[in-house]
Structure 1
Amino acid sequence: MKVGIIGGTGVYDPQWLTDSHELSVDTPYGTVAVTEGTMAGGGEPVLFMNRHGLGHAVPPHRVNYRANLWAMAARGVKRVVATAAVGSLNLAMGPGSMVLVDQFLDFTKSRPTTFFDGGETGVVHSDMTEPYCRASREATLDVGKAVGVRLVNRGVYVTTEGPRFETPAEIRAFRLLGGDVVGMTGVPEVVLARELGLCYTSIALVTNFAAGISPDLLTHEEVLEAMADNVAQLRTLLGAAIPALQVPFECACPPPPATLSRIAPR
């Protein structure tokens, strides 16, 4: 099984890959830059993608999510692990926590969210009962226990449009709706992965408590500083999780619909 990594805020450099090389992947939605290499000791190639581009130049509402996920599938990726910096709405998930997300709430507004725009791909309503791959999440959780990286199993990811941070009133509303963490990139990424038949796992890295919970104002620089503290733990986790996810195992993630599989890169 070929694994792809999508690095979010603070996760820019795939130093854990060996024999790596840069690639440009053409898709119907644009060209995507990726890094391909292997883990120490060999094994299947691993694809790394910087979600926000070089120098964090692309804001969350302008990320070309369709091109990114299509490029993953075009290079033969079957399982995707995505990292994301988030704020916490849940006092039990404080700064430094790593949350394996299992559900989401979508409050985005202006992003293309599907490959199914009619025409050749038709009109398809994808099932989202389990938007994240349960088998991959459980495998990652087991690996975390083995290497001493504490992971929170399950959490609801609230996706906002950005690039602004949320108001305290919004955070109160999200908490009432059952949200645990809040970020700006979880959707449509998980939806597009499902449409392409990719097994998608999200590791949400908590950098702060959200507005109104924390007494302090939040800046992007502070998010980056908090992420830097998490990177060593994340590298340990990915170093063990990627080989585990490369081993074939059964999961309940559905294949892409027939209307898309005729043109999608498989």
Structure 2
Amino acid sequence: MSFAREEIPRVQFAVIGGSSTFSLNFPEDLEREDTEVLRTDLIFDTPFGESPAFKLVRTGDKEFLTCKMHGWRPPAVSRGQASQQLFWVLKEAGVERIYVEGGVGSINPLLELRDLVIPDDYIDHSMRQDVGLGGPYLMIMREPICPTGAEILYRVAKKHLAGTDRHVFKRGTYVNTDGRHFESRAEVQMFRSWHGDFVGQSIAPEVYLAREIGACYTGIYMVVNYAEGIIRDWDHKDLSDIFYGEGKKIGNILLDALKETPAEAVGCNCRALRKETLLQVKNGNR
């Protein structure tokens, strides 16, 4: 059975937009001569409902699919459904490497506003842990973030922040919560005791779905607020200034990283950490 209302483009790469590029018309507002939008408003029928709108973009010699805000479309579509729709399209497109961006709150008091963090691990404190695409796989999460993609993002981000007092970190633990609200002070102190470094709402279930489709997954996240009880009370104006003032920088980091990313996955074990499940019924026996 075919679910697509039109043919899904075949691409190796995808960029999932989050809060940092939400204020942009990405990538058009970057006005880059090396980047061309090939198609817009690509919406597909999936087994989980109608997909978010995608763009097909070429930057340098690479074509990629991109969509806004992790596919979230309130209020009718839940975040879990949006993730399923998004990653089903990426699976059908043959995507092998995914870059993601978003905003996080700092739990580690060493992290300042506008610092960039590339996690190497996560803690899933959400209630969306069973979200999947139905594939017959056992996902091993010992290395959830692609180290090759992380190294590329780190190197590119350092170049973009050169000459500033801002920092880029390529290690840290992302604590995933459900939202929509921010966390309480007691919750933040609990996450800190778990050795969490920053908190957000998007890495899960995406990290599981990326593994399920056999794709490398790497995210870069901007610190947009101090978590409750850390440093000082966060200010809505700070949040607004970051959301609307940092989009172009993050967008250019993503495109430059994509241009440096090899077509073939090298230096990582991402694909080897997806195994065939043992829980299958075969000839009436398990």
* TM-score tier (shorter): 0.7 to 0.9
1:52 to 1:19, Cα distance in 2 relative to 1, 3 A = closer
The CA deviation at 1:63 is 5.4
Superposition pairs of residues 49-64 of structure 1, within 5 angstroms: 49-51=67-69, 57=74, 61=79, 64=82
Percent identity between the two aligned chains? 28
The CA deviation at 1:29 is 1.6
Superposition pairs of residues 24-173 of structure 1, within 5 angstroms: 24-32=43-51, 33-39=53-59, 42-51=60-69, 57=74, 61=79, 64-110=82-128, 112-116=130-134, 121-122=135-136, 124-148=137-161, 150-173=167-190
Match of 1:7 among 17, 23, 42: 17
2:138 counterpart SS class: coil
> What is the number of equivalent residue pairs in this alignment?
250
CA-to-partner distance for each residue in 1:28-77, whole Å, 9 max, x for gaps?
222222111112xx4121211113558x6458745511111121222232
CA-to-partner distance for each residue in 1:190-218, whole Å, 9 max, x for gaps?
11101111100011111011011143255
1:66 to 1:224, Cα distance in 2 relative to 1, 3 A = farther
Structure 2 counterpart of 1:205, which letter?
Answer: M
Q: Distance in 2 between matches of 1:161 and 1:148?
A: 31
> Does the CA contact (< 8 Å) of 2:152 and 2:261 recur in 1?
yes
- 1:248 matches 2:235: no
CA-to-partner distance for each residue in 1:126-167, whole Å, 9 max, x for gaps?
110010101111122222334445521111000011111100
1:218 to 1:52, Cα distance in 2 relative to 1, 3 A = farther
Aligned residue number for residue 5 of structure 2: none
Flag structure 2 segments of 5+ consecutive residues without an equivalent: 1-10, 278-286
> Does the CA contact (< 8 Å) of 1:61 and 1:162 recur in 2?
no
Q: Distance in 1 between matches of 2:78 and 2:249?
A: 24
1:2 to 1:80, Cα distance in 2 relative to 1, 3 A = same
> Does the CA contact (< 8 Å) of 2:54 and 2:65 recur in 1?
yes
When normalised by structure 2's length, the TM-score is: 0.78
CA-to-partner distance for each residue in 1:236-260, whole Å, 9 max, x for gaps?
312310111244341211255457x
Flag structure 1 segments of 5+ consecutive residues without an equivalent: 260-266
> Which moves more between the two structures, 131-140 or 26-35?
26-35
Q: Distance in 1 between matches of 2:38 and 2:158?
A: 28
Q: Distance in 2 between matches of 1:104 and 1:84?
A: 15
1:232 to 1:19, Cα distance in 2 relative to 1, 3 A = closer
1:112 to 1:136, Cα distance in 2 relative to 1, 3 A = same
- 1:196 matches 2:213: yes
Structure 2 counterpart of 1:100, which letter?
Answer: I
Greater Rg by CA: 2
